[in-house]
Amino acid sequence: MPRNGVLPNPPDIFLLERVVTLAAISCPPDRAYRLNILAKSRQCPWLLLNLRNPDLISILLKDAPDSCRERLITLLFLVLYALICRDSTPLADQYFAIIAAEGELPLYISALTAIAPYIGHDGLSEIGTMLAPPRTQELNESGFNKPTTVQEELLKMYDLQLGASVNPGPNIFATLLMLSKYPPSGTTEE
C-alpha cells in the first residue's frame, strides 16, 4: 500500500552516502581525518566509500556526547532501514551490530518512536524484528504452538533488561501501538 499516497521507491543511495559522510565528518577534531572522509566522497561518489565503511559510524557513535546520542541512534536506524529496503543485507547487519553494541533498549525504543511516523509499520517491524527476533523454534519445542510476535519479544527484552518491576515508558507503548496498527500481512491473507 502506498504510504502517504506516494508509491514506494528504493532509498536514494547517493543521498545516503552524503548523509553518512556529513555525520562522520561532524565527529573528529582532527582536520586530516575529516578531509580524508571528504576526499573519498568527492572523488568517486559512486563508489559509496563512506557508506560502505561502517567503521566510520562506529567511531562516531563511540565519541558521541550524551546530548546527541539518541538522535544519532535514530539516524542510524534510518540508515539501517534504507539498507534493508535496498536489499543490502550484509551491510545492514554490520550497521546493526554497531548500533546494538552501543545502546540500550529504552534508547532504541525512544529512537524508534521518533521515526515511526516516517517509516510506517513495515520499517518499524523490520527494525523491531532485528532488535527482538521472534524465537519461534524455541517456543515450539517447549510446547507452544503459536509463534511470538515482535511486540511480545520487545516486552520480554524490556523485562529482561530493566526488570519486571519497572513500568514501561510511553515510548514503548507508542511503538507497540504502531506495530499493532496493521496486522502482519501473513495474518490478513489467512
Alpha-carbon distance of 153 to 134, in angstroms, equals: 6
CB of 16 to another protein, least distance (A): 8
Alpha-carbon distance of 130 to 17, in angstroms, equals: 23
| Dihedral pair phi/psi, residue 134, rounded to 5° | -65, 135
The stretch among 46-54, 127-135, 150-158, 175-183 that binds another protein (CB under 8 A) is: 46-54
CB of 106 to another protein, least distance (A): 19
CB of 102 to another protein, least distance (A): 14
Among 71, 133, 159, 177, binds another protein (CB under 8 A): 71
74: contact with another protein by CB under 8 A: yes
**Which amino acid does the sequence have at 93?**
D
Which residue has 506516494 as its cell numbers?
6
Nearer to another protein, 27 or 131 (CB): 27
Which residue has 547517493 as its cell numbers?
14
113: contact with another protein by CB under 8 A: no
Among 54, 56, 57, 91, binds another protein (CB under 8 A): 91
Alpha-carbon distance of 105 to 166, in angstroms, equals: 13
Helices 13-25 and 31-43 cross at an angle (nearest 10°) of 170
**Which amino acid does the sequence have at 43?**
Q
81: contact with another protein by CB under 8 A: yes
Alpha-carbon distance of 150 to 148, in angstroms, equals: 7
Among 56, 57, 88, 98, binds another protein (CB under 8 A): 88
Number of Cα atoms under 13 Å in the Cβ half of residue 127: 33
Interface residues toward another protein, by CB under 8 A: 3-4, 6-16, 18-19, 21-23, 25-27, 29, 31, 34-35, 37-38, 41-43, 45-48, 52, 64-65, 67-68, 71-72, 74-75, 78-79, 81-82, 85-91, 115, 118-120, 122-123, 185
